[in-house]
Structure 1
Amino acid sequence: CRVRIQGDLSEEFETTAGLRQGDALACLLFNIALERVVRLAGLSSRGNIFYKSTQLLAYADDINLMARTVRSLEEAFESLSQAAAEMGLQINMDKTKYMVSGPTPSSRLPDAITLGCSTFQRVEMFTYLGSTVHMANDSVVEINKRLLSANRCYFGLLPLFRSRTLSRKSKLTIYKTLLRPVQVYGAETWVMTKQSENRIRAFERKILRRILGPVCDHGSWRRRTNEEVYQQYDDIDVVHFAKLGRLRWAGHVARLPDDDPAKKLFEAQPFGSRGRGRPKQRWVDNVEEDVARTGCRDWRNTARDRVKWKAVLKEAKAHPGL
């Protein structure tokens, strides 16, 4: 390899030692190697699954390979596996799972799938980049997982919340900076129902009651009511905070180039018809419902203007009914 020094390349030299764990160059070099693997495999990351047979999503060493048919999936997997072998990389078969998403009843699906010489177990959900992806595209599963993770974080921070040496302001800062991000991680993509919102708010009130403590009423101590909790908190609740993040993300998606995969997926129209009964709420339904409360019309065009969209977010933050 060579090293660039003040614009000039040095003489070639041989490297005999690899990078140590934690080296700053490790991530960069691995991404370069993985990009080479994807190109050798002939798998394009552009476009989306609505308009082609396979779709590749990759972030660091987390790869998600989607396909419309088993045959397309097998061809893409074999190409990826062979290209990885040429670069000295190997797919971890133990950590690789497969999931089927769609209207097909789960009882008709095989419990395992064989691709080449490898067999993978079918799962109903898996974790990708910290978020749970469910076969029915149900956000409730991810919300429940977030609440469990936040509850573990809460018990880890409980000695600080019980401390008599820390001020109430410091405890609230700890909650907002350390605990709330765990609770609403990935909330920009959630589809929240009233039941989910109530559960999320109930968990926040439990923490705030611990921080604020009881109140003395006519000589006896009692727990604070919900109204008293938020009066003392004097900030937007966690659901309001999550909805603001979702609106902010919607603005980013609206401003993406038209050829961006996320933008194409956002504007794509799935084939087929929706099932009987009340249709399930979609992400865009939540966004349009929140934007309507601010009085904004034609939010997609408004979001293309960053300054105007910031004004909408400011209005949404101050809106008590969001």
Structure 2
Amino acid sequence: MRIEYVELCKTIRKKVKEDCRKHHIRIIEQAVQDGRLRRTRSELADGRRQIAALKQADGNVAGTTPDILHVVKQFYEDLYRKVTSSTDASASHPENDEEEDSVPPILPAEVRHALHASKTGTAPGADGVTVDALRTGADSLAAILVRLFNLCLHQRTIPAGFADARTILLYKKGDAEDIKNYRPISLLSTIYKTFTRILTERIRATLDAAETDEQAGFRRTFSTIDHIHVVNELVQKVTEYRLPLYMAFVDYEKAFDSVENCYVWRALKRQQVPVPIISVLKKIYDEAKSTFCVCDTSVEVDIQRGVRQGDAISPRLFNACLRDVIRSLNWDSKGINVNGRFLSHLIFADDIVIFSHSPKQLQRRIDELVAASSTVGLKVNVKKTKTMTNFPGTASLSISGEPIEEVNEFVYLGQLVSFPRDHYTEIKRRVQAGWNAYRKYKHFLTAPTIAMKLKRRLYNMVIVPTMLYGAETWALTKQAETRLATTQRRMERRMIGVRLLDHRSNEWLRGVTKVVDIVKAARRRKWQWARKVATMSGDRWAKRITEWRPPSARGRGRPRRRWRDIICKIAGVNWMLMAHDVSSWNTLGEAYLRNDCD
């Protein structure tokens, strides 16, 4: 009987595993057919981990629901507790200004546009109203929402509970009893988010006009590729022209949760945002409540600082406050002189990298940034802040006496940066990331019952973008392209179900899968990015650094492969002028995709 029982358990486990695999395949198949792969993440998730116990501040473990709620309340109230004095806060209140701006009333078209721009499939707030429901009744509800929003805007008040948040805690990784290893997710009312989205659109142009090209986060026409390209070009040129470069990658500790609200309002006022909008935003932050849902019950937490998670306007508020901090540092004449303008730093949201030719100057500027940031509530995380230089061992930098680690390589905005610049190492990282994404959908991509057109669609939607992140900035070599191509062919063989021993040609594989050619896709991205750089405004750092030639002598010997080499080879040294002719540029691009131009 014992043997029979063991065999029965093994059979049951196999059947359960097989049924789960078939269920996952059905979900992914439907998502690929509908073109809504994002929704499968929640459907395929293992479920949310329930909090059974949490460590208290003294190290003891809280195991009962009241004790767990006490730990949650104490931790987040300490995190969100205001640290500025009442005098500092009152000095920046918009109500203290004698001169006020008038704002035009909100229009029904703005409401419909905000609803159309909202993401569908997101969890609703406490009222249970979804984006889909509002979109369905947009024509009927627009007039009602306009009256409500205009009342809030002109009376500078909000209805009770309008901006309240329901917050859940999602486990990340590490010790499950450490509350620091949980991510708070705020669920806000969809109607409230529609209102703040309208306010965001109204102040977008004003804040963009006050922003500088050093900030690329949460801005239209900017992306991570802008700053990755700048860092790549800077590293390549200081290496080729033998110039010293010292970089500090600064990391803030819970930046969005710790910024002081009074300094946000001050920054908005300085950047010419209308006073009525500032006043209604301040009213929201003063009256909104946050309820944390834990263990099937809830506890209210007093939020005194930080921008609201899940709110469309929050990134813009943080950017405005950080811009105010950077402006106070007066770094316009510090950093790397690039054709008469100094590149002192780059910012993407709360990620800052500082540049200098001198370690002493870099230390001074780190100290200045730390001091200025602390005044608005931002604290630099010394453990995650790193420095890097092409003259290792020549500098010893610190923050408040604590040494900053010097590294040989650093992952900046998702791409590996190193001295000297090694794009092949980065491409190997992308290949590994591609395999990780492939294994996530392995059962679907290798299932013989799934049509190849669905496999191809998933592959092109997920695997190709994963492998080619940052390809716009790569200095591609024949070796790198071969690595990409061989990786793709291995994936294709698995999708079809053949082996190397079957001796199928590459042409046959591609004829069956018809997936996007990874090498051509990488070249196309780079070619399109080159044209974008060429047609940029001259003030954008991506263009300025590309045109820059350092005023010093190069080292002897052939330099390493540059990003622009292949572009100059195909379009000539005046490729930036050629790029303005779309027809000629596209013709040259097609030739680049077809030919071996190494």
TM over 0.5: yes
More off after superposition, 274-283 vs 175-184: 274-283
Q: Aligned to 1:90, which of 379, 388, 393?
A: 379
Greater C-alpha Rg: 2
In the TM superposition, what whole-angstrom CA distance separates every residue of 1:24-70 from its partner, at most 9, and x where no partner exists?
Answer: 22212111111111112223499955456761100101111111101
Q: Offset at 1:89?
A: 1.2
The structure-2 alpha-carbon separation of the partners of 1:46 and 1:260, relative to structure 1 and needing over 3 Å to count, comes to farther
Tell me the equivalent position of 1:299.
Answer: 575
Where structure 1 has 5 or more consecutive residues not aligned to the other structure, the ranges are 216-220
In the TM superposition, what whole-angstrom CA distance separates every residue of 1:160-203 from its partner, at most 9, and x where no partner exists?
Answer: 11223321111111111100111110011011221111111111
Tell me the equivalent position of 2:531.
Answer: 251
| Cα separation, 2, equivalents of 1:316 and 1:133 | 27
Q: Offset at 1:115?
A: 4.6
Where structure 2 has 5 or more consecutive residues not aligned to the other structure, the ranges are 1-93, 96-101, 107-152, 157-278, 289-302
Q: Aligned to 1:262, which of 517, 533, 542?
A: 542
More off after superposition, 241-250 vs 221-230: 221-230
Q: Aligned to 1:41, which of 318, 325, 329?
A: 329
Does the 8 Å CA contact 2:456/2:515 hold for their aligned counterparts?
no
Tell me the equivalent position of 2:319.
Answer: 31
How many positions carry a matched residue from both structures?
Answer: 307
The structure-2 alpha-carbon separation of the partners of 1:320 and 1:52, relative to structure 1 and needing over 3 Å to count, comes to closer
In the alignment, structure 1 residue 114 sits paired with structure 2 residue 398: yes
| Cα separation, 1, equivalents of 2:363 and 2:435 | 40
Q: TM-score, normalised by structure 1?
A: 0.84
Give the secondary-structure state (helix, strand or coil) at the position aligned to 1:24.
coil
The structure-2 alpha-carbon separation of the partners of 1:116 and 1:274, relative to structure 1 and needing over 3 Å to count, comes to same
In the alignment, structure 1 residue 139 sits paired with structure 2 residue 139: no
Spell out the pairing of 1:203-214 with structure 2 (5 A cutoff). Answer: 203-214=487-498
Amino acid across the alignment from 1:300: M
The structure-2 alpha-carbon separation of the partners of 1:206 and 1:314, relative to structure 1 and needing over 3 Å to count, comes to same
Amino acid across the alignment from 1:208: E
Spell out the pairing of 1:1-322 with structure 2 (5 A cutoff). Answer: 6=105, 9-11=154-156, 12=279, 14=283, 15-16=285-286, 17=288, 19-44=307-332, 49-50=337-338, 55-101=344-390, 104=391, 106=392, 108-109=393-394, 112-214=396-498, 222-234=502-514, 237-289=517-569, 291=570, 298-317=574-593, 319-321=594-596
Instruction: For CA contacts below 8 A with separation 6 or more, give which structure has more relative contact order.
Output: 2
Tell me the equivalent position of 1:218.
Answer: none
The structure-2 alpha-carbon separation of the partners of 1:310 and 1:46, relative to structure 1 and needing over 3 Å to count, comes to farther
The structure-2 alpha-carbon separation of the partners of 1:160 and 1:4, relative to structure 1 and needing over 3 Å to count, comes to farther
| Cα separation, 2, equivalents of 1:224 and 1:32 | 58
Does the 8 Å CA contact 1:41/1:82 hold for their aligned counterparts?
no
**RMSD across aligned positions (CA):** 2.9
Does the 8 Å CA contact 2:446/2:496 hold for their aligned counterparts?
no
In the TM superposition, what whole-angstrom CA distance separates every residue of 1:270-318 from its partner, at most 9, and x where no partner exists?
Answer: 24333333321111102223x35xxx7843212023454344435544x
Q: Offset at 1:204?
A: 0.7
Q: Offset at 1:263?
A: 1.4
| Cα separation, 2, equivalents of 1:229 and 1:52 | 51
Q: Offset at 1:134?
A: 0.9
The structure-2 alpha-carbon separation of the partners of 1:80 and 1:321, relative to structure 1 and needing over 3 Å to count, comes to same
More off after superposition, 193-202 vs 1-10: 1-10
Does the 8 Å CA contact 1:99/1:122 hold for their aligned counterparts?
yes
Amino acid across the alignment from 2:495: I
Percent of pairs identical after alignment?
29
Amino acid across the alignment from 1:40: S
Amino acid across the alignment from 2:429: K
In the TM superposition, what whole-angstrom CA distance separates every residue of 1:218-250 from its partner, at most 9, and x where no partner exists?
Answer: xxx814222322343446521121011111111
Does the 8 Å CA contact 1:214/1:222 hold for their aligned counterparts?
yes
Amino acid across the alignment from 1:25: I
Give the secondary-structure state (helix, strand or coil) at the position aligned to 1:21.
coil
